[in-house]
Amino acid sequence: MEHDTQTLLDRQVLPPRAPLVDPFARAITYLRVSVTDRCDFRCVYCMAENMTFLPKVDLLSLEELDRLCSVFIAKGVRKLRLTGGEPLVRRGIMTLVGSLARHLKTGALDELTLTTNGSQLPKYARELVDLGVKRVNVSLDTLDPDKFRAITRWGELDKVLAGIDAAQAAGLNITTSTCRSRSCARAWPSAIRSTRSTTAPAVLPATCASPRLADGSASSPPSPTISAKAAIACG
């Protein structure tokens, strides 16, 4: 009976259907899924220091997240990004990654990736690679330790850089992104400073875009790319 109920549920949510398209008839193939509202940082532009998070009962379980993502993949999503909060602080997150990775093996999914603050990468980078993740995006607003602390409140730049090191050592490709807020724009010069070291094999495209400042002018990050070792050397 339990088996029949499960089969019925599968029929209700998993049959192949027409692919998702937006109002301009463009296929929707990229999905970002927030797996938690929690984080081990408290960035000033993101959340209060004394946050009240959602009750866990109000969050989708790992099984429900897997089911939801699988439905979207069945409807044509080819690239899936797990976000948060900080996705790597979600308990059991590797179970979800491992489960979703089955879609990489079948070819239904082209890429499974995460956006992370990097603090947990020393712990998880190797396992992510083993499960089939090839790339992560690390949010990094500055390479100045004091500014980093001021922006993230609870964050330690050294831990994030250690996470980037671990990710590189594990073979992950890394992209970085920078907050567009004015307070973070002031910290950009250190985050995107210098490409003087050319020894690092991995290049980190900075995905930050020019924000509009209060006077309407664009504040432009001077370089679209930095190398990992250059970034670390600049810290």
Tell me: does residue 135 bind ligand SF4 (CB under 6 A): no
Q: Map the footprint of ligand SF4 across residues 41-60, applying CB under 6 A.
A: 41-43, 46-47
Encoded one letter per residue, x for contact with ligand SF4 by CB under 6 A and - for no contact, window 138-157 reads: -x------------x-----
Site size with ligand SF4, rule: CB under 6 A: 12
Of 33 and 73, the one with the shorter C-beta distance to ligand SF4 is 33
Question: What is the Cα–Cα distance from 207 to 139, expressed in whole angstroms?
Answer: 10
Identity of residue 20: L
Look up residue 212 and give its DSSP letter: B
In the complex, the smallest distance separating the C-beta of residue 50 from ligand SF4, rounded to whole angstroms, is 13
Which residue lies nearer to ligand SF4 by CB, 152 or 168?
152
The nearest distance, CB 117 to ligand SF4, in angstroms, is 4
The answer to whether residue 84 forms part of the interface with ligand SF4 (CB under 6 A) is yes
Stretch that binds ligand SF4, among 20-28, 81-89, 183-191, 198-206 (CB under 6 A): 81-89
Restricting to residues 150-209, name those near ligand SF4 by CB under 6 A.
Answer: 152
> What span, in angstroms and rounded, lies between the C-alpha atoms of 99 and 14?
16
CB 232, CB 164: distance < 8 Å: yes
- Pick the closest to residue 22 from 76, 64, 81, 79 (CA basis): 76
> Are 84 and 34 in contact, with CB atoms under 8 Å apart?
yes
Residue 29 structure tokens? 């193939």
User: Of 73 and 161, which has the nearer Cβ to ligand SF4?
Assistant: 161
211 binds ligand SF4 (CB under 6 A): no
Residue/partner pairs of 122-128 with CB below 8 Å, 24 or more apart: 122/159, 122/162, 122/163, 122/165, 122/166, 123/88, 124/88, 124/93, 124/94, 125/163, 125/166, 125/167, 125/169, 125/170, 125/172, 126/166, 126/170, 127/94, 128/94, 128/97, 128/170, 128/172
Q: Of 115 and 190, which has the nearer Cβ to ligand SF4? A: 115
Q: Which is nearer to ligand SF4, 40 or 165 (CB)?
A: 40
Closest separation in Å from C-beta 41 to ligand SF4: 4
137 touches ligand SF4 by CB under 6 A: no
The C-alpha atoms of residue 20 and residue 16 are separated, in whole angstroms, by 11
Residues that bind ligand SF4 (CB under 6 A): 39, 41-43, 46-47, 84-86, 117, 139, 152
